[in-house]
Amino acid sequence: MNNNLKVIYEDNHIIVVEKIVNIPSQADKTGDEDMLSLIKAYLKEKYNKPGNVYLGLVHRLDRPVGGVMVFAKTSKAASRLSEEVRNKTFQKKYLVICNGKMEKEKDTLVDYLWKDEKKNTSYVVKPTKKNAKQAILDYEVLKYDKEQDLSVLKINLHTGRHHQIRVQLSSRMHAIYGDNKYHGRGAGTGICLWAYKLTIVHPVTKEQMTFKDLPEQKGMWKLLK
């Protein structure tokens, strides 16, 4: 098991961690270690718990993506946080480094996406296509590096579609750096997409809480300086 778990916040009801890059949010067909199992093992050891440890998965991040994730330590917390996700009071913000200069400093992107289950790939399609789902995000340009021809964006998701940020940007010729799947430059360097900010209403205290976690400034992430 990976022991590099970074805990950002923990109480009796929730645990907030940094999702490790290239580790899936939950177990998948690869059989590789996953965040859910990793945190369960951490809790079991920390509190010397016998038997199975309860941990609720409330939301996911794509396997190559790192950043802030919250998990529920009780079924009540899981239910209430899941309700927040459905009601869109659960706010996730991302940092992205993508190709080229954006046409506008701020904008809202609206598309319809369709997921090809066999290829695990999503595409921008016409709204009339069967099983197409609307995808909406806002972006703001934080920086443009002329030498690298790369833009640093802050992104607010309004919908949580499969590979949404990656597909919406790639379809506009602004593929994310390191995103091989959607034609990004920098193959093999790791995708420059990071969940840096999470705002929730605590499932028990009802306090609004915001957690931040920035990527390590190496590779193209040095552009954040």
Q: Domains in the chain, please, with CATH?
A: 6-224 (3.30.2350.10)
Residue 86's H or E segment, with its range, is helix 75-87
Structure tokens at 189: 């360097």
Q: Can you give the pLDDT at residue 30? A: 85
Query: 30 by DSSP, 3-state: which?
Result: coil
Residue 87, classed as helix, strand or coil, is helix
Taking residues 172-184, report their average pLDDT: 96
Query: What single-letter DSSP state applies at residue 54?
Result: P
> Does residue 161 contact residue 136 with C-beta atoms inside 8 Å?
no
- CB neighbour list of residue 28: distance below 8 Å, 6 or more residues apart: 34, 63
Q: Where are the beta strands (DSSP E) in the chain?
A: 6-10, 14-19, 56-57, 66-72, 91-99, 106-116, 121-125, 133-145, 150-157, 193-201, 208-212
Contact criterion met (CB below 8 Å) for 68 and 16: yes
pTM: 0.93
CA 49 vs. chain centroid, Å, equals 30
Q: Taking a C-beta distance cutoff of 8 angstroms, is the pair 220, 97 a contact? A: yes
Most confident of 26-30, 47-51, 65-69, 216-220: 65-69
- Per-residue tokens: 111: 């598309």
What is the model's pLDDT at position 59? 94
